[in-house]
Structure 1
Amino acid sequence: MIFKILAGDKQTKARCGELRLGHHSISTPVFMPVGTQGTVKTLTPQQLKETHTKIILCNAYHLCLRPGEQIIKQLGGIHKFMGWDGAIITDSGGYQIFSLSGLTRVSDKGVEFQSPVDGTRLFLTPERMMQIQNDIGADVIMPFDECVPYPCEKDRASVAVKRTLEWAGRCLTTHKNRQQTLFGIVQGSVFRELRIECARNLVEMNFEGYSIGGLSVGEGLLLMNEVLDYTVDYLPADKPRYLMGVGFPVDILNAVERGIDMFDCVVPTRNGRNGCAFTGTGRVKILNSQYKEDTAPLDQTCECYTCRNFSRAYLRHLFLTHEILGLALLSLHNIFFFQNLMQQVRESIVNGEFRDFKAAFLSRQSD
Structure 2
Amino acid sequence: MLQFDILTTDASSHARRGQLTLNHGVVQTPIFMPVGTYGTVKGVMPQSLHDMGAQIILGNTFHLWMRPGLDVMQSFGGLHGFEQWHKPILTDSGGFQVWSLGAMRKITEEGVTFASPVNGDKLFMSPEVSMQIQTTLNSDIVMQLDECTPYETKGHLTTEAEARKSMEMSLRWAVRSKNEIERLQNPNALFGIVQGGMYLNLREESLQRLVEMDFPGYAIGGVSVGEPKDEMLSIMAHTPHRLPAHKPRYLMGVGTPEDLVEGVACGVDMFDCVMPTRNARNGTLFTRFGDLKIRNARHKTDHQPLDTTCTCHACAGAAGVSWDEGGRGGFSRAYLHHLDRCGEMLGPMLTTIHNLHYYLNLMREVREALEAGRFSAFRAQFKADRARGV
- What's the C-alpha RMSD, in Å, of the aligned pairs? 1.1
Moved more, 124-133 or 215-224: 215-224
User: Percent of aligned positions with the same letter in both sequences?
Assistant: 46
Q: Hey, what's the Cα distance between the residues in 2 that align with 1:326 and 1:180? A: 37
Amino acid aligned to 1:184: G
Task: Tell me the residue number matched to 1:164.
Answer: 170
Displacement after TM superposition at 1:9 (Å): 0.5
Q: Hey, what's the Cα distance between the residues in 1 that align with 2:50 and 2:16? A: 24
1:201-255: CA deviation from partner (whole Å, max 9, x where unpaired): 1111100000000001122232222212322243100000000000210111111
- Runs of at least 5 residues in structure 2 that lack an aligned partner in the other structure: 152-156, 317-329
- Equivalences for residues 34-113 of structure 1 within 5 A: 34-113=35-114
Task: Tell me the residue number matched to 2:251.
Answer: 243
Amino acid aligned to 1:170: R
Say whether residues 1:258 and 2:270 are aligned partners. Answer: no
TM-score, length of structure 2 as denominator length: 0.92
Task: Tell me the residue number matched to 1:362.
Answer: 383
Structure 2 counterpart SS, 1:310: coil
Amino acid aligned to 1:157: A
Amino acid aligned to 2:167: V
Displacement after TM superposition at 1:145 (Å): 0.2
Q: Hey, what's the Cα distance between the residues in 1 that align with 2:23 and 2:226? A: 36
Residues 149 and 167, structure 2, Cα contact 8 Å, conserved in 1: no
TM-score, length of structure 1 as denominator length: 0.98
Q: Hey, what's the Cα distance between the residues in 2 that align with 1:229 and 1:317? A: 42
Q: Hey, what's the Cα distance between the residues in 2 that align with 1:165 and 1:214? A: 14
1:288 pairs with 288, 296, 306, which one? 296
Task: Tell me the residue number matched to 1:201.
Answer: 209
Moved more, 32-41 or 72-81: 72-81
Residues 38 and 59, structure 2, Cα contact 8 Å, conserved in 1: yes
Displacement after TM superposition at 1:90 (Å): 0.1
Amino acid aligned to 1:243: L
Task: Tell me the residue number matched to 1:183.
Answer: 191
Structure 2 counterpart SS, 1:105: strand
Say whether residues 1:299 and 2:307 are aligned partners. Answer: yes
Q: Hey, what's the Cα distance between the residues in 1 that align with 2:185 and 2:36? A: 23
Amino acid aligned to 1:317: H
1:59-107: CA deviation from partner (whole Å, max 9, x where unpaired): 1011001111221011221001001111100001111111111111111
Residues 24 and 87, structure 2, Cα contact 8 Å, conserved in 1: no
Displacement after TM superposition at 1:179 (Å): 2.4
Q: Hey, what's the Cα distance between the residues in 2 that align with 1:199 and 1:268? A: 29
Q: Hey, what's the Cα distance between the residues in 1 that align with 2:160 and 2:70? A: 36
Amino acid aligned to 2:61: A
Q: Hey, what's the Cα distance between the residues in 2 that align with 1:127 and 1:178? A: 12
Displacement after TM superposition at 1:23 (Å): 4.5
Task: Tell me the residue number matched to 2:322.
Answer: none
Q: Hey, what's the Cα distance between the residues in 2 that align with 1:228 and 1:350? A: 23
